Chains A and B, each alone.
Chain A
Amino acid sequence: METLEQIKSRITHALPGARIEIIPNDSPAGQRSLLVDADHGAAIAQFLRDDPELRLDYCSNATGVDWPEAVVKTKIKKQVIVEGVEKEIEETLETLRSGCLETVYHLYSMAKKHGPVILRLRTENRSDKNHLPSLTPVWRSCEFQEREIFDLYGIVFDGHPDLRRILMWEGFVDHPMRKDYVGPDDYDYEPTPHDDVLEKTKQHQAAEVKA
Chain B
Amino acid sequence: MLPKDAGDGESLEVAMGPHHPSTHGVFRMDVVLDGERVVKLKPVFGYLHRNHEKIAEGTTYLAAMPYTDRLDYFCSLTNNWAYALAVEKLAGLQVPERAEYIRVITAELTRLQNHACLIGFLAQDMGASGTPLMYAFREREKILDLFEALSGARMMCNYMRFGGCRCDLPDGWLTQAQTVVAEFPRFIDEFENFLTGNEILMSRTQGIGRMSRELAINAGITGPLLRAAGVDYDLRKVDKYGIYDRFQFRVPLGDHGDTFDRYMIRILEMRESVKILEQALPKIPAGPIVDPKTKLRGFRPKAGEAYGRIEAPKGELGFYLISDGGPNPYRYRVRPPSLINLTVLEDICLGQMIADVVVILGSVDIVLGEVDR
- Across the interface, B304 reaches (CB within 8 A) one of A27, A60, A110, A166, namely A27
Q: Which residue of A lies closest to B347 (CB)?
A: A140
- Across the interface, B220 reaches (CB within 8 A) one of A63, A141, A168, namely A141
Please tell me if B90 contacts chain A, counting CB pairs below 8 Å.
yes
Please give, as numbers and ranges, the residues of chain A lying within 8 Å of B89 by CB-CB distance: 27-29
Mark the stretch among B14-22, B137-145, B315-323, B358-366 that contacts chain A: B315-323
- CB contacts under 8 Å to B, within A57-94, are 57-61, 63, 65
Establish whether residues B306 and A31, one from each chain, have CB atoms under 8 Å apart when the complex forms.
yes
Please tell me if B309 contacts chain A, counting CB pairs below 8 Å.
yes
Please tell me if A113 contacts chain B, counting CB pairs below 8 Å.
yes
Establish whether residues A57 and B335, one from each chain, have CB atoms under 8 Å apart when the complex forms.
no
Establish whether residues B231 and A60, one from each chain, have CB atoms under 8 Å apart when the complex forms.
no
Please, how many residues of chain A have a CB less than 8 angstroms from a CB on the other chain? Answer: 35
Measured CA separation A176–B55 after assembly (Å): 11
Please, how many residues of chain B have a CB less than 8 angstroms from a CB on the other chain? Answer: 42
Establish whether residues B220 and A27, one from each chain, have CB atoms under 8 Å apart when the complex forms.
no
Q: Which residue of A lies closest to B372 (CB)?
A: A167
- CB contacts under 8 Å to B, within A108-131, are 110, 113, 116, 118
Q: Which residue of B lies closest to A102 (CB)?
A: B331
Q: Known: A57-B217, A168-B49. Is A143-B343 also a contact (CB below 8 A)? A: yes
- Across the interface, A26 reaches (CB within 8 A) one of B217, B304, B318, namely B304
Please tell me if A189 contacts chain B, counting CB pairs below 8 Å.
no
Measured CA separation A144–B340 after assembly (Å): 7
Main secondary structure of the interface of A (DSSP, over half): loop
Measured CA separation A140–B238 after assembly (Å): 22
- Across the interface, B218 reaches (CB within 8 A) one of A29, A139, A144, namely A139
Establish whether residues A26 and B320, one from each chain, have CB atoms under 8 Å apart when the complex forms.
no
Please give, as numbers and ranges, the residues of chain B lying within 8 Å of A57 by CB-CB distance: 217-218
Establish whether residues B233 and A113, one from each chain, have CB atoms under 8 Å apart when the complex forms.
yes
Please tell me if A20 contacts chain B, counting CB pairs below 8 Å.
no
Measured CA separation A29–B318 after assembly (Å): 14
- Across the interface, A60 reaches (CB within 8 A) one of B54, B215, B218, B220, namely B220
Nearest chain B CB to A55 CB, angstrom units: 10
Please tell me if B201 contacts chain A, counting CB pairs below 8 Å.
no
Against A, the Cβ 8 Å flags (1 = close, 0 = not) of B289-331 are: 0000000000001111111010000001010101100000001
Main secondary structure of the interface of B (DSSP, over half): mixed
Nearest chain A CB to B121 CB, angstrom units: 23
Q: Known: A27-B302, A61-B333, A140-B219. Is A116-B307 also a contact (CB below 8 A)? A: yes
- Across the interface, A177 reaches (CB within 8 A) one of B54, B90, B323, namely B54
Please tell me if B46 contacts chain A, counting CB pairs below 8 Å.
yes
- Across the interface, A110 reaches (CB within 8 A) one of B51, B54, B231, B335, namely B231
Q: Known: A106-B318, A144-B340. Is A25-B305 also a contact (CB below 8 A)? A: yes
Nearest chain A CB to B347 CB, angstrom units: 9
Please tell me if B128 contacts chain A, counting CB pairs below 8 Å.
no
Establish whether residues B238 and A31, one from each chain, have CB atoms under 8 Å apart when the complex forms.
no
Q: Which residue of A lies closest to B307 (CB)?
A: A106
Against B, the Cβ 8 Å flags (1 = close, 0 = not) of A173-196 are: 000110001000000000000000
Q: Which residue of A lies closest to B222 (CB)?
A: A60
Establish whether residues A177 and B217, one from each chain, have CB atoms under 8 Å apart when the complex forms.
no
Please tell me if B342 contacts chain A, counting CB pairs below 8 Å.
yes
Q: Which residue of B lies closest to A178 (CB)?
A: B54
Please tell me if B155 contacts chain A, counting CB pairs below 8 Å.
no
Measured CA separation A65–B219 after assembly (Å): 22
Nearest chain A CB to B6 CB, angstrom units: 18
Nearest chain B CB to A16 CB, angstrom units: 28
Measured CA separation A163–B304 after assembly (Å): 31
Measured CA separation A54–B235 after assembly (Å): 19
Measured CA separation A139–B343 after assembly (Å): 11
Nearest chain A CB to B4 CB, angstrom units: 16
Please give, as numbers and ranges, the residues of chain B lying within 8 Å of A27 by CB-CB distance: 89-92, 301-306, 323
Measured CA separation A96–B1 after assembly (Å): 47
Measured CA separation A181–B53 after assembly (Å): 14
Q: Known: A28-B90, A144-B343, A145-B340. Is A60-B318 also a contact (CB below 8 A)? A: yes
Q: What are 26 A-B pairs with beta-carbon distances under 8 A?
A: A27-B89, A27-B92, A27-B302, A27-B305, A27-B323, A28-B90, A29-B92, A31-B305, A31-B306, A60-B220, A60-B309, A65-B322, A106-B335, A110-B233, A141-B218, A141-B220, A142-B220, A144-B339, A144-B340, A145-B339, A152-B51, A166-B46, A167-B46, A167-B373, A177-B53, A177-B54
- Chain A to chain B: the 4 pairs with minimum beta-carbon distance, closest first: A141-B220, A27-B304, A28-B92, A29-B306
Extra pairs beyond A28-B302, A110-B233 (9, CB < 8 Å): A27-B91, A27-B301, A29-B90, A61-B318, A63-B335, A118-B307, A139-B219, A140-B220, A177-B53
Task: Name A residues whose Cβ lies closer than 8 Å to a Cβ of B.
Answer: 25-29, 31, 57-61, 63, 65, 104, 106, 110, 113, 116, 118, 139-145, 152, 165-169, 176-177, 181
Task: Name B residues whose Cβ lies closer than 8 Å to a Cβ of A.
Answer: 45-46, 49, 51, 53-54, 89-92, 215, 217-221, 231, 233, 238, 301-307, 309, 316, 318, 320, 322-323, 331, 333, 335, 339-340, 342-344, 372-373
